[in-house]
Amino acid sequence: AEVVIVSDQDAAGALVADAIVQLIRRTPDAVLGLATGSTPLATYRALAARIEADGLDVRGVRGFALDEYVGLPAGHPESYRAVITREVVEPLGLTPELVRVPNGDPAEVQHAGADYEAAITASGGVDLQILGIGRTGHIGFNEPGSSLASLTRVKTLTEPTRADNARFFDSPDDVPMHCITQGIGTILRAKHLVLLAFGEAKADAVAAAVEGPVSASQPGSAIQLHPHATVVVDEAAASKLQ
Ligand code: F6R
């Protein structure tokens, strides 16, 4: 992967937003792969500002979120459907019907994975996939042990990941036990991967992803199998790179 070390999250956001603006200029119906969590927020902020300043027409832009919790009530503010609407679709002015999130309804999850894969394939595939990385090394919610060839499916969240995400819920017990996530194989089909990471807590996961052996025990290391992966990190997240 190409590693770009930036001064802070805003610099990363500006860099990635610029790449996305160029993509949308070339391809007005570009397909964006969207991550949730804290890491991509600076990118979404910078992108919203660029779209506004440049008067860019994004009505044809399509999107696929990486993952969703299973079993949150419809409309729960921390469901990734709600988060993507609030943090991406509305501020960027995307067309809501063109932005998909995996279906975390327990009654639907049996076929939701296959449906999602079919929708991504029918779109022509993701042009640019934004990724964060978990302390456990997960990308999407592919926790250690996930097959490098996996497709969208239901997974159990690990305790460290539930603890990390408890900040978004009233009580740690409210964090769902399960999620539906694009697989590592799904993610690897995107044409360009952009993995973002900030802060010292991510340094081990970043080093394992960029320089470690390619292994299912470090899902982030799968980016080494991709011909066009860019890693954008601050000094702290880069601190364990050789
Ligand atoms: C989010 C996702 C996760 C996060 C990761 C880092 O859709 O799939 O892999 O990117 O858990 O989370 P933050 O950015 O909150 O540190």
What is the Å distance from ligand 1's center to 146 Cα?
Answer: 16
Nearest Cα residue to atom 15 of ligand 1: 37
Tell whether 49 is covered by a domain: yes
Cβ 24 vs Cβ 30: under 8 Å: yes
How many Å apart are CA 98 and CA 31, to the nearest integer?
9
Cα distance between the two ends of the chain = 14
At residue 30, the pLDDT reads 98
Instruction: Please return the burial class of 55, using the count of CB atoms within 10 Å of its CB with bins 0-12, 13-18 and 19+.
Output: exposed
| Shortest-distance atom of ligand 1 to CA 181 | 8
Tell whether 241 is covered by a domain: no
**So which residues are the catalytic ones?**
67, 138, 143
Cβ 206 vs Cβ 233: under 8 Å: yes
Of 74, 104, 79, the C-alpha closest to 178 is: 104
What is the Å distance from ligand 1's center to 201 Cα?
Answer: 13
Write down the pTM of the prediction.
0.97
| Shortest-distance atom of ligand 1 to CA 202 | 16
Tell whether 227 is covered by a domain: yes
Tell whether 230 is covered by a domain: yes
**What is the ipTM metric for this complex?**
0.98
DSSP, collapsed to helix, strand or coil, labels residue 134 as coil
Range of the domain at 122: 2-234
Residues 6 or more apart in contact with residue 119 via CB below 8 angstroms: 64, 100
* DSSP secondary structure code for residue 142 in this structure: B
At residue 74, the pLDDT reads 86
Tell whether 121 is covered by a domain: yes
| Shortest-distance atom of ligand 1 to CA 65 | 7
At residue 37, the pLDDT reads 95
At residue 126, the pLDDT reads 98
Tell whether 74 is covered by a domain: yes
What is the Å distance from ligand 1's center to 95 Cα?
Answer: 24
Nearest Cα residue to atom 10 of ligand 1: 132
Domains in the chain, number: 1
CATH number at residue 187: 3.40.50.1360
| Shortest-distance atom of ligand 1 to CA 161 | 11
What is the Å distance from ligand 1's center to 196 Cα?
Answer: 10
Tell whether 239 is covered by a domain: no
What is the Å distance from ligand 1's center to 65 Cα?
Answer: 11
How many Å apart are CA 50 and CA 68, to the nearest integer?
28
Nearest Cα residue to atom 1 of ligand 1: 36
> What is the CB < 6 Å shell around ligand 1?
35-39, 66-67, 132-134, 138-141
Tell whether 242 is covered by a domain: no
pLDDT in tens, the chain (242 residues): 999 999 999 999 999 999 999 999 999 999 999 999 999 999 999 999 999 999 999 999 999 999 999 999 989 999 999 999 999 999 999 999 999 999 999 999 999 999 999 999 999 999 999 999 999 999 999 999 999 999 999 999 999 999 999 999 999 999 999 999 999 999 999 999 999 999 999 999 999 999 999 999 999 999 999 999 999 999 999 999 99
